[in-house]
Amino acid sequence: MLIEVNNVTHIYNDENNITALKDINLNIDKGEFIGIVGHTGSGKSTLVQLFNGLIIPSTGTVRVNSKNITNEKSNLKETRRHVGLVFQYPEHQLFEESVYKDIAFGPKNLGLDEKEIESRVKEVMELVGLEYSQFKDRSPFNLSGGQQRRVAIAGVLALKPEVLVLDEPSAGLDPQGRKSLADLLKYLYDELNMTIILISHRMEEIAELCNRVIVMHQGKIVLDGSPKEVFANEKKLHKLALDLPQITEILHRLKEKGLNLETEIFSITKASDAIIKAIRSH
Ligand code: ADP
Ligand code: MG
């Protein structure tokens, strides 16, 4: 098992003493592509920060590759090599004078030699679609928002993590930016065999990419299954103020109006086939 979370409760120790996670149990295997959804404040960001030791839970344990990372002796630097975390709006944390230096920052901290660093920077810039010679010397602050985000993601990929965790990476991107992000994640998963954990509000994105969906509500995991299994709970999701993928919503409405349709469909092409078939036999 790659990541094991056992009986974790987390309380933020400040004036509000909010219990952000309540008795969470969760196992994540190598090779999963997990989507985490839930209303704002449900605990998604807190949960994923457990995975690389950024948050040490109030009670319970977290294991990464069987190593307990919640005890005092654990080596968090080592953990962060295994679990790469791309924060929400990661471009806010760019700070170096050039794209190259920003991406090289993590590998440098690992103590890698200059040649290895350069080859990693080249490799990850290509991965995220930033041409090396064109972008390496540019200031990250003069790039577009979408390009800045790609630099930030490249900085995490340069650590060559086994698991990539992304907290709302498509927030604020235009449709084209979202498409190239989805293509990148598919490539990392299909071709580089990375394990991926994605927090997103976009159910289309989740349904298209993930093979497991976890739904959070008030610090608890309330649904956990394949996209088909999870999106079959239309009423429950609506009660939690969550949507189905838009195309799936449409299929449900058509079914309510009397069309005899399969509704567990998440892609436009499959949906249009199903609608045509239903109308022909109507
Ligand atoms: P989500 O990512 O699903 O929006 P979070 O994990 O950010 O949820 O937040 C869960 C709860 O913990 C919320 O009530 C939030 O206000 C609180 N919280 C999150 N981060 C902090 C923090 N750094 N200090 C105090 N409370 C926090
Ligand atoms: Mg969050």
DSSP letter string over 223-258? EEE-HHHHHT-HHHHHHTT-PPPHHHHHHHHHHHTT
Each of the 282 residues of the chain gets a pLDDT tens digit; together they read: 999 999 999 999 999 999 999 999 999 999 999 999 999 999 999 999 999 999 999 999 999 999 999 987 778 888 888 999 999 999 999 999 999 999 999 999 999 999 999 999 999 999 999 999 999 999 999 999 999 999 999 999 999 999 999 999 999 999 999 999 999 999 999 999 999 999 999 999 999 999 999 999 999 999 999 999 999 999 999 999 999 999 999 999 999 999 999 888 988 888 999 999 999 987
Length of the chain: 282
- In the sheet that holds 163-167, the strands lie side by side as 83-86, 163-167, 195-199, 33-38, 212-217, 220-225
Residue with tokens 């909010």: 18
Please state the domain extents for the chain.
3-230, 245-282
| Ligand 2 centroid to residue 217 C-alpha, Å | 12
Rounded to 5 degrees, what angle do the CA atoms 71, 155, 198 make?
Answer: 65
Residue with tokens 């974790």: 8
User: Whose CA is closest to atom 6 on ligand 1?
Assistant: 43
Q: Ligand 1: list residues with CB < 6 Å.
A: 12, 14, 18, 20, 38, 40-46
Whole-prediction pTM = 0.94
- Superfamily grouping for domain 3-230: P-loop containing nucleotide triphosphate hydrolases (3.40.50.300)
| Ligand 1 centroid to residue 260 C-alpha, Å | 43
Ligand 1 atom nearest to 42, measured from its CA: 3
